[in-house]
Structure 1
Amino acid sequence: MNPGTMIEHSARSALVASALCLSGAAFAEPATFEVDSEHFSMSFEIMHIGYAPVIGMFREVEGQFVYDDATGELQSGTLVFQSDSIFTNHKKRDEHLRSDDFLHSKKYPEIRFDLTDFEPSGENTGKVTGDLTMLGQTNPVTLDVTLNKSAEYPIGHEDFTLGISAETSLRRSDWGMTYGLEPALVGDEVRLRFGFEANQDSGWF
């Protein structure tokens, strides 16, 4: 191989290597993920007069967050629940929960969670801290989070998808929701569990 050919070959190799590096860097950049409302489950549990817990859910939610698949870090995010979408499989109870004794859905139609920090605790686990706004008040909440799987979806939309599980407990009285505390008709502690899929925004490809 003559010197000119060697130089040309080296230049081509350098260009290919650079392109691969740039491509990998672009793929590894943090991306926006949209919550898939069709694959979102959220439950809450609260004790009723000390006898048994009432289990319910919110059926309408939307949200997005920024996730870096290369580092496994959640960088920011927001979830918004429609408070009047509360469901406990009991019509009169659900109407009461929407009233000003509890969620006051007419005045406060949204419950909002804004992610402020993510601290890894294991290979695919961590603690998410965020601000929960409900009844016009905002307080910090910390959730235990598991990043279950991130990969291209095997059926249907085939988008790059992340699956998340999370859980926490909070005191509803911290947001001024005190109905039923005295006498002890409704518990103060509320246990929350989440499970959902989120799809990478196609605009990032």
Structure 2
Amino acid sequence: MNLPNMTAHLACTAAFPALLAMTPVVSAEPSRFTVDSEHFSMAFEIMHIGYAPVIGMFREVEGEFVYDEETGELNSGTLVFQSESVFTNHKKRDDHLRAEDFLDSENYPEITFTLTDFEPTGENAGKVTGDLTMLGQTNPVVLDVTLNKSAVYPIGHEDFTLGISAETTLKRSDWGMTYGLDPALVGDEVRLRFGFEANRDSGWF
């Protein structure tokens, strides 16, 4: 190889890594994930007469969302809670929570959260904004979300699975739930904490 050809060859070789770096990466298609209701926990805390928080949960929930694993974009999603499934380990209190003073489960059996926006705040964290519909009223809510793990499940179904934590604080009076606010028997602020697994639907495209 003569000198001019060798020089051209070396120049092309040096430029090849830079060319690769500038080539756009084709991202994977977004996938639908279904919430695993057997591995879902949602706890709420609300103050009782200023003494101590009452801690409860909803035991029945369904949900799904569309997530792009390559780009980290969360495109859409919905969680649906059955209001009658509220549980605080006290039957009389749970019956009251299902009644008209609070959740009015007979007329409003579902509490729905629908995702409207997602803003990444870190490598595995972000803020999810969504519309929360309860008692026939809809208001925006922002959740602080952390992706704990994403991997093929090691046992059982062996699907690709996401593990997620989320939390937020809201005021129940924003949805017209004002029982016990005056006098201050039941707090207005409600702290919500979520932890759940969601499995990728391999049959969706």
Judging by fraction of residues, say which structure has more helix. 1
**Coordinate RMSD, CA, aligned:** 1.2
Aligned residue in 1 for 2:105:
105
Q: What is the number of residues matched between the two proteins?
A: 181
Aligned to 1:139: 139
Matched residue type, 1:52: A
Question: Match for residue 44 of structure 1?
Answer: 44
Does 1:77 find its partner at 2:110?
Answer: no
- 2:16 corresponds to: none
Alpha-carbon distance, 1:204 to partner: 3.2
Partner Cα distance (2:99, 2:40) in 1: 25
| Counterpart-to-counterpart distance in 2, 1:116 and 1:193 | 19
Q: CA deviation at 1:25?
A: 4.9
Match of residue 155 from structure 1: 155
**Which has the higher Rg, Structure 1 or Structure 2?**
2
Shift of 1:132: 0.1
SS in 2 for 1:204: coil
Aligned twin of 2:182: 182
CA distance in 2, matches of 1:204, 1:78: 17
Q: How does 1:1-205 map to 2 (within 5 A)?
A: 25=26, 28-204=28-204
Partner secondary structure for residue 89 of structure 1: coil
Sequence identity (%): 84
Alpha-carbon distance in structure 2 between the residues aligned to 1:32 and 1:191: 28
Distance 1:182 1:116 in 2: 34
Distance 1:172 1:142 in 2: 14
The CA distance in 1 between the partners of 2:182 and 2:105, in whole Å, is 23
**What's the CA shift string for 1:10-56, capped at 9, x where partnerless?**
xxxxxxxxxxxxxx957x11100000000001000000000000000
Letter in 2 for 1:55: I
In structure 1, C-alpha distance between the alignment counterparts of 2:200 and 2:101, rounded to whole Å: 39
Gapped regions of structure 2 (runs ≥ 5): 1-24
SS at match of 2:203: helix
Deviations 1:42-82 (A, max 9, x none): 00000000000000000000010001111122111000000
Runs of 4+ in 1 over 2 A off after TM superposition: none
User: Whole-Å Cα distance in 1 between the matches of residues 37 and 54 of structure 2?
Assistant: 23
Using structure 1 for the length normalisation, give the TM-score.
Answer: 0.86
Three-state SS of the structure 1 residue aligned to 2:100 is: coil
Indicate the residue corresponding to 2:9 in structure 1: none
